Amino acid sequence: MKKNAVAKGQYGYLNSRKKISIFRCLLCCALTLLLVLCGRVFFRQHGGLFVILAIISAVPAAMSAVTMTMFLRFQTGRREVFDEVEKVKENAQVFYDSVITTREKSYPVNCFAAFNKNLLVLSEYEGVDEAPLIHHLENMAKKNGFKDWNIKLFRDLSKFTTRLAYLEEKNMKTLKQDVEMIELVRSLSL
C-alpha cells in the first residue's frame, strides 16, 4: 500500500481513493495515448505493434476510469463524526468512510460500529434510503451466518453516539462475531 494511502475502514479513505484513482486513470490513459503516438508518429515501421499494445493497454485504462467514476461520486464525511465516535467507541469495532453497493444503488455510510451483536450504521448523506440499505445488510448478515443481530441505521450523529455509549455502559464484552461483522462490512464496501 502507498505511504499516503488511507486503509479501507479508516477516516479519509474515500478521499484518498479518489486521489489515487484519478492519478491511476490519468497515468493509464497517458500510456495508451503515448503508445498510439509512438505507433502513428514516432515509429511508423512498427506502427501495428504499438497500436496493438495501445489496444491492450486500453483495458486497464477503462477499468481505472470506471473506478475513478465510482470514487468521484462520493467523499469522506465530516471529521466531527470521526472525532465524536472515537470518544465513545471504547471496545466497539468501528469501520469508517464506506460505500455499500447493491445492484440497484450505492449507499455512502459515515460509520459502522459492531458491538455485542449490534450493528450501528451512521449515514448523514442526503438521499440514502434507509429501508433498502438495512434490508441489504440484514440479508448479507444472514447469508454469512450472522443470526440474531440488531441492525439499526442512524441519520443523526448524536443519536448514534448516544446509542453506542449506552451499549458500552452496559458492560457488554466484545464478541468474536463483532470483529467478523466488521470484516463482512469491509468486504461489502467499495
Q: Which of 126-135, 149-158, 164-173 has the lowest mean pLDDT?
A: 164-173
pLDDT at 21: 95
Query: Which pTM value belongs to this model?
Result: 0.82
Is 60 exceeded by the pLDDT of residue 1? no
Residue 186 buriedness (CB in 10 A; 0-12 / 13-18 / 19+):
middle
How far apart CA 30 and CA 86 sit, in angstroms, is 41
Judging by DSSP bridges, how do beta strands 93-101 and 106-114 pair with one another? antiparallel
pLDDT tens-place string over residues 11-68: 999 999 999 999 999 999 999 999 988 887 877 787 788 888 999 999 999 999 999 9
Average pLDDT over residues 145-170: 90
